[in-house]
Amino acid sequence: MLDAADALAAFRQEFHIPRGTSGRDVAYFCGNSLGLMPKAAQAAVEEVLTDWRDLAVRAHFEAQHPWMPYHEEATGSLARVVGALPVEVVAMNSLTTNLHLLMTSFYRPDGRRRKVLIEGDAFPSDRYAVASQVTMRGGDPERDIIRVAPRPGEATIRDDDLFAAIVAAGNELALVMLSGVHYLTGQAFPMAAVVSEAHRAGAVAGFDLAHAAGNLDLRLHDWDVDFAVWCNYKYLNAGPGAIGGAFVHERHSHAEMPRFAGWWGHDKATRFQMPDRFDPLAGAEGWQLSNPPILMLAALRASLDLFDRAGMERIRTKSVALTRELEVLLEKSGIRALSVITPHEPERRGAQLSLRLPGGRDVFERLAAADIICDWREPDIIRVAPVPLYNSFADVHRFVDQLRAAVR
């Protein structure tokens, strides 16, 4: 009945659902790691290959979708996905590369103000990037990184503890660098409030949106976020190792700031005059380095078309309902050893529930054998992500039925 009333149910047919060992479609709950392939992606990539074959270099200007401005075709859609102005977003590079590029510009330690605040158990790439940036600026990661962690016996960070850490750092704080959604617990951080507290302390606010872009209903421009980065291969379904995304608030569009410069970030009007002096494009495009990978962009363009048709508001509405249905079924499952470590409140989570199940590796493998695809994280967590564009309520019921059988 829930699937029959689902306004987005038809979008499932826009994706390739892998077949399991039984010949039946798998129940795929791993979109927080790699999104499924949109059916339109193959044609989009093949179009680029055909243009390369038939037009070669002329395809930069003569292709059906000319390569020269190809990356701009993703701009409007990405802006709608993350709640930004078109000038504030760009598809480029990969997530960690973009994080380094933007930290080079926005992390500017000066005197006492040199500390960076992150989650204590942030995704390793974020921790490595932040530590290396601090070291390159002559700092000491042990001294200059503030790591906010859950309280003993708790799985997620309390908002009050996060705000208190920002206030306590005061005029020593240079940058708050958090996830939008924590990769392990699925906790969504209160980004608007974090930005407000960071700015009140005189610091810059940046986010890794790897698990938030295409998942939460974001409002980066309205929240006054300084910068953000994300990958497009999770909820945004652009394929393995896909091109990443970046956001820079329009307040910084024409700001003079340090940056690693590249040819593609130069003013388009004079780019081909090959000047010695770098003249950056206004907005996020000014952080581009090299001309973009067209094959990657083709797959991203195919996926973003689905987001434009569905709309983030409807996607988020279904996500809340789908994740709640999963939670209710788990509560009724009678699996005593199971606990959900993701916050209960819809505004504090995205399309993911992280299940703590001691000794659960065997259960995870039984689920895989039953064509239930989810994710295992040591030592005892199964991550389950019901993605609203291609998961159904029937998928959620199938997962809980198989989980109960696997535990038995």
Three-state DSSP class for residue 260: coil
Mean pLDDT, the chain, whole residue set: 97
Q: 36: which DSSP letter? A: P
Q: Are 187 and 353 in contact (CB under 8 A)?
A: no
The answer, yes or no, to whether residue 16 has pLDDT greater than 90, is yes
**Share of residues in the chain with pLDDT > 90 (%):** 97
Distance, CA of 178 to CA of 117 (rounded, Å):
8
pLDDT at site 191: 98
The pLDDT of 231-236, averaged and rounded, is: 98
pLDDT at site 374: 97
Distance, CA of 179 to CA of 158 (rounded, Å):
14
Burial 287-309 (b: 16+ CB within 10 A, else e): bbeeebbbebbbbbbbbbbbbee
| Separation of first and last alpha carbons in the chain | 28
The answer, yes or no, to whether residue 160 has pLDDT greater than 90, is yes
Give the pair of three-digit tokens for residue 213: 């872009």
Give the right CATH number for 59-308 from 3.40.50.10860, 3.40.640.10, 3.60.20.10, 2.60.15.10: 3.40.640.10
Q: How many CB atoms lie within 10 A of CB 25?
A: 14
**H-assigned helices in 207-311:** 294-310
Q: Which of 381, 95, 65 is nearest to 238 (CA)?
A: 95
pLDDT tens readout for residues 26-82: 999 999 999 999 999 999 999 999 999 999 999 999 999 999 999 999 999 999 999
pLDDT tens readout for residues 242-301: 999 999 999 999 888 999 999 999 999 999 999 999 999 999 999 999 999 999 999 999
Q: Which of 206, 196, 193 is nearest to 105 (CA)?
A: 206
pLDDT at site 79: 98
Q: What pTM does this model have?
A: 0.96
pLDDT at site 408: 86
pLDDT at site 359: 86
Give the pair of three-digit tokens for residue 115: 């500390």
The answer, yes or no, to whether residue 22 has pLDDT greater than 90, is no
The pLDDT of 140-147, averaged and rounded, is: 98
The pLDDT of 178-186, averaged and rounded, is: 98
pLDDT at site 383: 98
The answer, yes or no, to whether residue 1 has pLDDT greater than 90, is no
CA 219, distance to chain mean position in Å, is: 14
Domain with CATH 3.90.1150.10 in the chain: 9-30+311-407
Q: For the domain bounded by 9-30+311-407, which CATH number is listed?
A: 3.90.1150.10
pLDDT band, very low/low/confident/very high, at 350 (cuts 50, 70, 90): very high
Q: Which of 366, 319, 309 is nearest to 13 (CA)?
A: 309
Domain with CATH 3.40.640.10 in the chain: 59-308
